[in-house]
Amino acid sequence: MGPSMIYMVIGVSAFILIVLFAVFKGNDNKRSGSEYLKEAQKQKEEAAIQEELAAVQEEAAAPKRRAEDLDFWDMYPEETEEAEEETEKKTYQNPYTEKAEKEKEADRQKEEEARNDPATDGKHTLITNRDGSEEWVLISPYLKKSTLDFTKMEDNAGLKRYMENGRKISYVGADISKHTGKIHFPSLKAAGIDYVMIRLGSRGYSSGQIALDENFKENIDGALEAGLDVGIYFYSQAITQDEAVQEANFVVQNLEPYRGKVKYPVAFNMGFVSNDTSRIEGLGREDKTNITISFLEAVKAAGYVPMVYGDKEWFLKEVDLSKLQDYDVWLSQEEDIPDYPYRYAMWQYDTDGILNGIDGGADLNICFIGYSER
């Protein structure tokens, strides 16, 4: 072979060798890449297994929740034997039983309404306001209640007597003023009157001036001469505590000639006037209470028994009775049996009574305390 041929053979051989080398090298690279991918996949799977294992361990370490720990169980009330029996009853209830149950439920509702009815619950008392409206007022459990038993009350010719074991333990009285007119006191005594409450004076509901009752001296002298016990009352329109003390001093001064002869209380009578506006209209409950106390304390300091007069509305609405518990009460209520719930010492039960010795209507009273015997 010539030199050119030799060179050609060598070149072809070298080319073949280069191709074979490249093929082998590519196979090696492919094999290396596949192993790399396999290794990466293996690491990923091992990491996932480790995460699952950690989660299982964490769950195993956590406190186990019980069925009763789940909130939704509270949605279903616990079934008791009584509830099961009730369910069975409802399931198998016949028409007669159902009717009886309805009647029982209706009776229960009526009883509930009766308990909540102020007219029957025993916790309220009815008052009639001066405008004619009616109102149920709650009875205080803290104030002293009346203990009078009206089955022991007797009525003789319009004069009431409280009896116990056949013996009279009350005192019959009348209250008088210039409006009563001319009075024949011996006739009052003969009619069975034991005492009289005499108006000493009043303060004008418009002018505010204090005045002595025109018949005061004649009335007190006539009553004492006839052998009747006497008490006093003053009609107040005081709008301050100072005015109340002024009224009390006026009473005490005019009673000075009769000191020791006035056995019954000196009463404070404050009230509104009919068909007109009085001075006290603007006073609040606390004001009227403090004014009342000022008068009563001044009277008490002078040596007389203090008493407060009023009707049911006045005592329950216009003053604070809890602050007047230390004073005797003179109740005005024209009823056969008063329904005033609290304690009182004297009761004016008629303002148009018939009484020998008084022309026209007489104000009649009964007293449950023997003041003259103290």
Q: Measured at the alpha carbon of residue 251, what is the angle toward residues 245 and 255, in degrees to the nearest 5?
A: 145
- Please report where in the chains the tokens 């890449």 appear, as a residue: 33
Contact yes or no for 250/201 (Cβ under 8 A): yes
Q: In this structure, what token pair is assigned to residue 104? A: 């029982």
CA dist 272 and 279 (Å) reads 9
- The predicted-structure confidence for 27-52, as pLDDT tens digits, reads as follows 555 454 456 556 656 776 777 667 76
In angstroms and rounded to an integer, the radius of gyration of the C-alpha atoms of the chain is 52
Q: Report, as an integer, the average pLDDT of 3-8.
A: 65
CA dist 153 and 122 (Å) reads 23
pLDDT surpassing 50 at residue 224: yes
Contact yes or no for 343/144 (Cβ under 8 A): yes
The 10 Å CB-count burial string (b at 16+, else e) for 140-162 is eeeeeebebeeeebeeeeebbbb
Handedness of CA 339, 342, 343, 347 (dihedral sign): negative
How many CA atoms lie less than 13 Å away from 74 in the CB half-sphere?
A: 3
Residues in the chain: 374
pLDDT surpassing 50 at residue 325: yes
Pairing of strands 195-203, 229-236: parallel
Residue 315 phi, psi dihedral angles, 5° rounding:
-70, -35
Task: pLDDT band for 72, please (50, 70, 90 cuts).
Answer: very low
CATH superfamily of 147-373: Glycosidases (3.20.20.80)
Give whichever of 60-64, 83-87, 125-129 has the largest mean pLDDT.
125-129
Q: Integer distance in angstroms from the first to the last C-alpha of the chain?
A: 175
Q: Which amino acid is at 336?
A: D
Task: pLDDT band for 73, please (50, 70, 90 cuts).
Answer: very low
CA dist 247 and 320 (Å) reads 21
- The DSSP output letter for 315 is I
Q: Is the pTM of this model over 0.75?
A: no
Going through the chain in order, the beta strands assigned E by DSSP cover 124-128, 134-138, 153-156, 159-164, 167-168, 171-176, 195-203, 210-212, 229-236, 262-270, 306-311, 328-332, 346-353, 362-367
Tell me how far the alpha carbon of residue 88 is from its chain's centroid.
44
Q: Which amino acid is at 287?
A: D
- The predicted-structure confidence for 270-286, as pLDDT tens digits, reads as follows 999 988 999 999 999 99
Q: Which amino acid is at 40?
A: A
- The DSSP output letter for 91 is H
Q: Measured at the alpha carbon of residue 73, what is the angle toward residues 68 and 77, in degrees to the nearest 5?
A: 115
